[in-house]
Amino acid sequence: MKRRRQVPRSRLWLLAIGGLLGCDLRYPEVVVVNRIDTAVVIRNPSFNGCRWEATLNYGDATVPRRCLPGRDQVHFQKLDLDQFAEQRMDPEEATTGPLWFNYQTVAQWTVDAGDFRVIEVQGGDALEQDFSIPGPYGH
Amino acid sequence: MRGAPWLVFLLLVLGPPARAGSPEEAPSPPPEEGEEPGDAAVPTPGAAPDHQTVIQASRPVSPDQTQDQVAVPGERLRESPRPTLLEALAQESASIHVTRRGVGPAGVASGAAGGLTVRGLGGSPNTQVLVVEDGVPDVQGIFGHPLPDAYVPDLIDQAVVVEGGDSVLYGSNAMGAAIVLRSRWLPEDGWEVRSDAAYGSFATLQGTVTALGRKDGWEGAFALHGMRTDGHRDGAGGSVLVIQSAGRLRLAPGWSLVLRNKAVHVTGGDPGTVQHPFTDHTFDVWRDNLSGALEYQRPGLRVTLLPYATLGRHRLHDGFQSLDWTLGGRGEVCWRPHRNWEVLGGVEAQDMDGEVRNRIQGTATDVRAMVDLAAWQQVLWRPVQGLSLVVGSRELYSLRWGFLWLGKAGVRWNFWRGWSVRTRVTRNYRQPTIRELYLPYPVANPDLRPETSLNWDATLGYEDFRHLEVSLTAYRSQARNLIRYFGSWPAAEVVNIDAYTVWGLEGRVRVRDLGPFGATVAGSWQRVGRYTRQNPEAMLDFAATLGHRWGSHRLEGEVSGEWVHGLYMANYRREPIPDPFFLDLAVRYRLEPPGKDWTLEPWLVLRNLMNRKYEYIRGYEMPGFHVLAGLKVGLGG
């Protein structure tokens, strides 16, 4: 009969403690993809404690980030390039920069520990303006 | 995460040891008639040894025996599973509410945590709760409140929370409570070095080294504490560095000179709400507190002269930079003309000032210094055995607001076999901060008046000094001219409000040394009216310990938790927050080989054992189940 090789007790302890310390590594990974429109750019999307400092053209995806488990909408800033082009044609507004507006998805997503979730942000009625942005506050 | 319950089971099977029940941590009974306060066991250097019996007794941290106080030994604070000192203190008393946001620094400015509320007073963020560190009121000159991240328990001998405050003894800001911290020294010649290093979830790394020494009338204490973490979500990380040093020289019989310094550096950021997180709302704070103390002591008399200075620099992500300083000094005489009488008197002067500018915009905001002078007196009379009467008065003169009188009166009667009853009424105050007066973040009002409060409380208690401690307290706080912020930027305003009354009940039961078992349960309920912002209706704090010692080994475990009810993010019961509730588990093993002068203590803290989703600040969700594991090594001592 083949003898089972015993694992040293110290290694078991290390394994147990290492597993516990790594519990936050099981936080869900989330990716946001811009699927609104070819003429729409979004930037700095956020979802349940995560924030990506990124600008996404149509079809672009963020890098995966670990967010808190829970339920949230995707919040972001939106720029419509068609509108911006029209604005540039107007001599009175030609010198002003692009206006980024705060938007969020109507839908909410739930993510749990261990999940890998790709969230595609769609256009049309799937979006609404986001008035929940906190204003500047004090020191 | 799902494995947490078996860890509880494992702990119960292993049967760890009672920390709460260890004799060295048992609170000593209050000094009675004829007992001399002070470091009675300190021998005079070079003096010939005599053969008298020396009674070792520490001077009470706070000299008013009629106040309602919670005393916590430093060792218990050091072993607490809570990440900060203020949270560890909140675990000991159900009337202390501390806002939290995660494992990182509490921080400053918008989104900061660490706000303290005691008996309905506090918040904004901590200006109605005063922290006194070795006799020095710790307030940031411009912001008028302590820095929550500046307190680490490494060198604390004892912390006392004076619930109901005491502006007679401690001055401005001691309205809702005063947290009085006393640092420790070695009790006899020798040296001691301790190291405590830990690593845990969210890449949290913390380490502490303390060193204490004493020889031939020289004493020294040093502590270095560092912590850094990524935080449990984007923008929630940060770091804390605290360097403390103190030296004491026994100059001549009865004379001693103390010099202390504490430097603090805190970096981090406001992570924002989980819906709208920030990654770049950073802060960078430096503070340095320097104080000295010249003390003369002989039987029946103690004279202390204590100058102090604090200097701080705050930098925020938006260009804000402030430099603030506080200069002050206090002299105090404690005279015991008769064994039944004790007279305390003192004078104090304090100057707070600073400068504010925006480094990006290149603009500066004018602020004016605040200077006040004060004298105070307290008389303690013990007419019969077990009965103590205290009256006190403080006369304060502010260059800005003129004369103000504060007073207090209290009585404590230990009437029968561990039973006691006490009551006290005190008039406290807080002066507006420079920020509230001049800094438009979000708004300022130079016409603000100081706040005052009239606090009353009464306690019925029982303590057998061995196993059981029970107390029930009723209190009422009535405040006038409270300073409150209303509205939101840009239409916000900060004004005095007319009157505010809160009353409530607190209870506390503590069982210790009951075999391997010890437990503490503290609960409170209060009626706060419409001022419900971060002013919870009810709180319950509990801890159960199990311990076992065999030979040179000791294993102990503690399950502790907190439940908060009736928490709102706004006044008028608006923006309710679901009741926060969590459980923590701490396990410690200690090896003390006989005849050796070293100890080894691995420990493990499991926080939010049930992986509950909860928050104290709306949108600032607390971390789920997470872990910190460490190793403590002691040498000497």
Per-residue three-class SS string for chain A: CCCCCCCCHHHHHHHHHHHHHHHHHHCCEEEEEEECCCCEEEEEEEECCEECCCEECCCCECCCEECCCEEECCEEEEEEHHHHHHHHHCCCCCCCCCCCEEEEECCCEEECCCCEEEEEEECHHHEEECCCCCCCCCC
> What pLDDT does A23 receive?
60
pLDDT tens-digit map of B337-368:
999 999 999 999 999 999 999 999 899 998 99
- B277 vs A: CB within 8 A: yes
User: Which tokens in the block code for residue B116?
Assistant: 């303290």
pLDDT reading at B124 higher than 90: no
| Residue B137 forms part of a structural domain | yes
The token duo for B389 is 């009467």
Phi, psi of B491 (to 5 degrees): -100, 20
Residue B52 lies in a domain: no
Which pLDDT band holds residue A15 (cuts at 50, 70, 90)? low
Is B442 part of a structural domain of the chain? yes
The CA-based angle B429-B395-B160, given to 5 degrees, is 55
Task: Answer whether residue A118 shows pLDDT above 90.
Answer: yes
- DSSP assignments along B90-120, one per residue: HHH-TTEEE---SSS---SSTT----EEETT
- How is residue A48 written in tokens? 């349940």
B627 to A135: CB separation less than 8 angstroms, yes or no:
no
Average pLDDT over residues B161-188: 93
Query: Which of A10-19, B137-146, B225-234, B532-541 is predicted least confidently?
Result: A10-19
Checking if the pLDDT of B38 tops 60, the result is no
**Is residue B315 helix, strand or coil?**
strand
Residue B91 lies in a domain: yes
User: Kindly report the CA angle at B297 between B291 and B300, in degrees rounded to 5?
Assistant: 135
Cβ neighbours for B327, distance < 8 A, ≥ 6 positions apart: B308, B309, B350, B351
Residue B525 lies in a domain: yes
pLDDT for residue B325 is more than 90? yes
- The pLDDT assigned to B23 comes to 33
At A70-98, the pLDDT tens digits run 999 999 999 999 988 888 887 777 777 78
* Cα–Cα distance, B525 to B540 (Å, whole number): 9
SS (H, E, C) B556-617: EEEEEEEEEECEECCCCCCCEECCCEEEEEEEEEEECCCCCCEEEEEEEEEECCCCCCCEEE
Q: Which of A13, A17, A20 to probe by mutation at the B interface, max B CB count within 10 Å?
A: A20
3-class SS of residue B512:
strand
| B276 near A CB under 8 A | yes
**Would you give the distance in Å from CA B247 to the centre of its chain?**
23
Phi, psi of A28 (to 5 degrees): -65, 145
Whether B233 and chain A come into contact, CB under 8 Å, resolves to yes
Strand ordering across the sheet containing B68-73: B68-73, B156-163, B177-183, B129-133, B136-137
Task: Answer for the pair B236, B102: CB distance below 8 angstroms, yes or no.
Answer: yes
Average of per-residue pLDDT values in chain B: 88
Q: Are strands B129-133 and B177-183 parallel, antiparallel or unpaired?
A: parallel
Alpha-carbon gap: A93 to the closest alpha carbon of chain B (Å): 27
| Better-predicted residue by pLDDT, B480 or B123 | B480
CATH number, domain at B207? 2.40.170.20
Higher pLDDT, B1 or B573: B573
Partner residue opposite B626 with nearest CB, options A23, A49, A113: A23
Among chain A residues, the shortest Cα distance to B279 is held by: A51
Backbone dihedral region for residue B392 (phi beyond 0: left; psi -120 to 50: alpha; all else: beta): beta
Which chain A residue is nearest to residue B441, measuring alpha carbons?
A138
- The answer to whether the beta carbons of residues B486 and B477 sit under 8 Å apart is no
Q: What pLDDT, on a 0 to 100 scale, did the predictor assign at position A10?
A: 60
Does B45 have pLDDT greater than 60? no
Taking only the tens place, the pLDDT of each residue in B544-553 is: 999 999 999 9
pLDDT band at A12 (very low <50, low <70, confident <90, very high): low
pLDDT tens across B436-452, in order? 899 887 788 999 999 99
CB neighbours of residue A64 within 10 Å:
16
Residues 6+ apart with CB under 8 A from B66: B388, B389, B390, B410, B411, B412, B422, B423, B424
Please report the pLDDT score of residue B324 as a whole number: 94
Separation of alpha carbons B182 and B162, rounded Å: 13
Contact flag A139-B320 (C-beta cutoff 8 Å):
yes
Rounded percentage of chain A residues whose pLDDT exceeds 90 = 55
**How far apart (Å, rounded) are the C-alpha atoms in residues B477 and B459?**
15
Partner A, chain B 514-573, Cβ-Cβ below 8 Å? none
pLDDT for B229 beyond 70: yes
User: What is the rounded CA–CA span in Å between residue B539 and residue B561?
Assistant: 11
Give per-residue burial for B161-181: e unless 16+ CB within 10 Å, then b. Answer: bbbbbbbbbbbbbbbbbbbbb
Look at residue B75 and tell me whether its pLDDT is greater than 50: yes
Instruction: Specify if B51 maps to a domain.
Output: no
Partner residue opposite A23 with nearest CB, options B199, B201, B278: B201
Whether the predicted pLDDT of A131 surpasses 70: yes
Return the residue of A nearest to B614 by Cα.
A70
CB contacts under 8 A, B 313-332 vs A, are 314, 316, 320, 322
Rounded CA-CA distance B96/B362 in Å is 41
Q: Is the pTM of this model over 0.90?
A: no
Q: Determine the average pLDDT of the residues in B248-256.
A: 93
Look at B121-130, B289-298, B379-388, B453-462 and tell me which has the smallest mean pLDDT.
B121-130
Banded pLDDT at B43 (limits 50, 70, 90): very low
Reference B264, options B227, B213, B301, B237; nearest CA is B227
Measure CB to CB from residue B626 to each of A24, A67, A136 and give the nearest one.
A24
Give the chain B residue whose CA is nearest to the CA of A114: B1
Structure-model confidence comparison of residues B293 and B49, the more confident one: B293
Using the beta-carbon criterion (under 8 Å), do A136 and B623 form an inter-chain contact?
A: no
By the CB < 8 Å criterion, does A23 face chain B? yes
Count up the domains in chain B and report the number: 1
**CB B263 within 8 Å of CB B288:** yes
A123-137, B100-114, B328-342, B506-520: which has the minimum mean pLDDT? A123-137
B439 and chain A in contact, CB less than 8 A? yes
Domain that holds residue B87: 4-46+57-636
